[in-house]
Amino acid sequence: GTAWQLKLAVLLLVPRPGSTQASRTGQVDTIGIQRAVSAWMQHHRAPALSVAIALDGQPTWSAGFGLADPAHGVRATSSTSYRLASITKSITATAVMMLAEKGLLDLHAPIQRYCPAYPAKHASITGRLLLAHLAGVRHHSWTEAMWPNTRHFESVTAALDVFKNDDLIAQPGTQYHYSWPGYTILGCAI
């Protein structure tokens, strides 16, 4: 899918030992946090992690851990961006449903009403079908699966160019086929 990026933020409120007013005054046990992050990274074999802490809604502390680009020795910082991959689908689905709840997106309307850059197919594709992976839109081709796309697209509509002219692989509403491109169409609709 598209290369959506988001800074990883972890909200931790850890008072300093012996400080009774730690949470009210904004004190943060950074040594304890660093130990916890290091242990988590080692356990999960994560090359990098960025952490931000806020107290009472205000940024208090942030840091990067590990290597954002291990091949080139580039250290992670508090502002390192990370590729979200399929986590983007949850964010996209939430945004679509928020728009639907507000009456701004009809889940049963042809998706071209909201994403005119995606051409009409032989059967109607709706937001509901795309959300459920029932629209008949393909997933990765064999080549794409072997060499994942890390290309940055300047817009969601530019990302559609990869698959928008492909035929549907099933009649919409008849078969489940997991589809990252389907969620790119939803991103366009948003």
Per-residue pLDDT reduced to its tens digit, 49-95: 999 888 888 888 899 999 999 999 999 999 998 878 788 999 999 99
Model confidence at 8: pLDDT above 90? no
Model confidence at 32: pLDDT above 80? yes
Reading the block at residue 22, the tokens are 């730690």
Answer with the residue of higher pLDDT: 181 or 55: 181
Number of neighbours of residue 155 by Cβ within 10 angstroms: 11
DSSP state for residue 64 in the 8-state scheme: E
Query: Do residues 7 and 68 lie in contact, with contact meaning Cβ atoms separated by under 8 Å?
Result: no
Spatial neighbors of 102 by CB under 8 A, at least 6 apart, are none
Angstrom distance (rounded) from CA 17 to CA 29: 8
pLDDT for position 105: 98
The closest alpha carbon to 82, from 59, 64, 58, belongs to: 64
The CA-atom distances, in angstroms, between 34 and each of 50, 52, 53 are 11, 12, 12
pLDDT for position 19: 39
- Residues of the chain with pLDDT > 70, as a percent, come to 82
pLDDT for position 160: 94
Angstrom distance (rounded) from CA 65 to CA 49: 5
Model confidence at 12: pLDDT above 60? no
Tens of pLDDT, residue by residue over 165-176, are 999 999 999 999
Weakest-pLDDT range from 83-87, 126-130, 149-153: 149-153
pLDDT-derived band at 149, boundaries 50, 70, 90: low
The closest alpha carbon to 63, from 89, 41, 45, belongs to: 41
pLDDT-derived band at 179, boundaries 50, 70, 90: very high
Angstrom distance (rounded) from CA 140 to CA 19: 54
Angstrom distance (rounded) from CA 84 to CA 155: 16
pTM: 0.67
Identify the bridge partners of residue 74 per DSSP, sorted by sequence position.
69
- Please indicate whether residue 86 is annotated as part of the active site: yes
pLDDT for position 147: 67
Reading the block at residue 151, the tokens are 């290309």
Residue of 86, 90, 141, 155 marked catalytic: 86
Model confidence at 181: pLDDT above 90? yes
pLDDT-derived band at 25, boundaries 50, 70, 90: very low
